[in-house]
Amino acid sequence: MTERYNWTVPANATTGTYTILAGVWNSNWVWSTGASTSVTVTSSASAGTTGGQTTGSTGSTGTPLSSSTAGANLPAAAQATPYYSCSTNWYVDASSGSDSNAGTSSGAPFRTIARATTKNASLAAGGCVNVAPGTYNEFVTVTNSAGKAGNLNSKTGFVVLRSTTALAAKIVGPSSNGYSAVTLPASYAVIDGFDVSGGANAGHCIDGGYNVPSNHAHHLTIINNHAHNCGGSGISVNSGDYYIIAGNTSNNNAGTSGYQTSGISLASAVNATGFTATSTDSSYYHNIVANNISYNNVETFACSTYGMSAGCHTDGEGIIVDCFDCSGVGVYTGRTLVVGNLVYGNGGNGIQVGRSSNVVVANNTSYGNFTDVNNYGTARGELGNMAGTNTTWVNNIAWATPGAGVLAKNVPLLDEGKMSISGVTYPGTGVTWNNNIYWGAGVAVWNGASISSSMNFSKNPGLVAPTGGNFTLTSSSPAQGSGLPEGFLTDTTPNIGAY
């Protein structure tokens, strides 16, 4: 099949010629660069024009999704190529559908997503629920009527909820009588291409197991969505294994939940057992967080609302990998890759690895995070290692923007070293910081940790206009072609940072 990718020249783009590269993630999450094209900005009048590129790809059958911009003057969140195929199709259309229809053709669609999922006994592995543009005011659960989803990590092994047009199907969680707007409580489930908002009170936009952690749902794929304006996390996965979170935008979440939530959260991973493994399951990384944009996720609730003292906020991270070493269900052994993400303006860290092992954080750009003045903590790193063990931080850009009061503690890189939390000691050993560019302040190291100044570099990373939302590199940026080659990067001379 082919897919057409579109882009829009940012309104503040400088004159010049920009090269657009296309490519494909394969099943082992290695990026293969494909066709390229270019667009030339000759004057300010050129800004805002749109171009496109058609590329070959391996992905789902049916109508492909096109990439979308996250907001004004922002680069598009790189679209994830879907790893699924649809052997059976169901159709939903809020405008023309009826729940008394058969739902098996676009000419006779259901009206609600629930009719195609939790009220549908025939939905099974290989089944795709194709949702037409429109607004769907309902809590959505990606299972069939028996509470099951797919059964195998193969192209036809998943149950898939997909928007037929990128971000045009809008799921708005009702404000009461529920929790998260979208829940994925069963294994082998995919949500692809939705605009998701709302949820009741503290609920998440997209919830992969947090509300039902005992299910230990695994093989969950959350791609190409816009998760925004939810009281809890934009995207949250909990107590499972084998997660792919890619090509999403998460913003303006985490405000009203007292459970300390974030833009994108992976917590308390548990080794998946009792499933039929395929060759794809031998991939080096169990969990992939790739090419997302997470911004302006800030806790805003009054501490007194939850009976806590002032300064009670602890989270609001752009991306957090949290407590993989403290799930209470054995030692989690899977590896996690956090790569190619942009995080900025969040209340907490840009990216934090807390009490978790075997995590690689690579080629991300983090700017101006830890904005929450009601977080009184002094551990305020753009990139923060909080008792993470055997973690690698490589090829990242971290630009801190310290301010007055508690914001004066903001730093680009922070390693907290060995820590004891709730009577448990986390060694914080085996941590590598290598070839990162940091700016805005010095680094901070505690409890025996170290960040080498000969392997990490304090210099202006040369972003085009970060205060205006343009995080691409200038032609003279020291990050251009200065990245270390890694197995998950096909470019032998990659840039440092996400772009």
Question: Which of 36-40, 410-414, 420-424 shows the lowest per-residue confidence on average (mean pLDDT)?
Answer: 36-40
The reported pLDDT for the residue numbered 358 is 96
Cα atoms in the 13 Å half-sphere on the side-chain side of 400: 28
User: What does the DSSP assignment read for 268-296?
Assistant: S-----SS---GGGG-S-SEEEES-EEE-
Length of the chain: 499
Cα dist from 415 to 311, 419, 424, whole Å: 22, 11, 18
| 197: Cα separation from own chain's centroid | 15
| Pairing of β 357-362 and β 218-223 | unpaired
Contacts of 295 (CB under 8 A, 6+ apart): 70, 250, 251, 263, 318, 342, 343, 344, 345, 346
Does residue 43 register a pLDDT over 50? no
The one-letter code for the residue type at 458 is S
Proportion of the chain above pLDDT 70, given as a percent: 82
3-state helix, strand, coil in the chain (%, to 5): 5, 35, 60
Cα dist from 302 to 306, 310, 328, 374, 375, whole Å: 8, 8, 31, 9, 12
Which residue in 483, 438, 270, 406 sits closest to 415, CA to CA? Answer: 438
Please compute the mean of the pLDDT values over residues 306-319 and round it to a whole number.
91
Q: Which residues of 282-303 are buried (b: 16+ CB within 10 A; e: fewer)?
A: ebebbbbbbbbbbbbbbbebee
Contact between residue 82 and residue 60 where contact means Cβ atoms under 8 Å apart: yes
Does residue 202 register a pLDDT over 60? yes
| Pairing of β 182-183 and β 206-208 | parallel
Contact between residue 457 and residue 351 where contact means Cβ atoms under 8 Å apart: no
* Rg (the chain; Cα; Å): 22
Report which of residues 137 and 24 the model is more confident about. Answer: 137
Please compute the mean of the pLDDT values over residues 261-285 and round it to a whole number.
92
Contacts of 26 (CB under 8 A, 6+ apart): 32, 58
The reported pLDDT for the residue numbered 36 is 44
Q: What is the pLDDT of residues 143-189, one digit of tens each?
A: 999 999 999 999 999 999 999 999 999 999 998 878 899 999 999 99
The reported pLDDT for the residue numbered 359 is 97
The reported pLDDT for the residue numbered 78 is 53
Proportion of the chain above pLDDT 90, given as a percent: 69
Does residue 213 register a pLDDT over 90? no
Does residue 92 register a pLDDT over 70? yes
H or E element in which residue 113 lies = helix 113-116
The reported pLDDT for the residue numbered 214 is 66
In angstroms, rounded to a whole number, what is the distance separating the alpha carbons of residues 282 and 457? 35
Please compute the mean of the pLDDT values over residues 350-354 and round it to a whole number.
97
Please compute the mean of the pLDDT values over residues 327-356 and round it to a whole number.
92
Does residue 123 register a pLDDT over 60? yes
Residue with tokens 């939940």: 257
Contact between residue 232 and residue 202 where contact means Cβ atoms under 8 Å apart: yes
Does residue 252 register a pLDDT over 70? yes
The reported pLDDT for the residue numbered 211 is 53
In angstroms, rounded to a whole number, what is the distance separating the alpha carbons of residues 445 and 88? 54
CB atoms within 10 A of CB 8: 18
Does residue 233 register a pLDDT over 90? yes
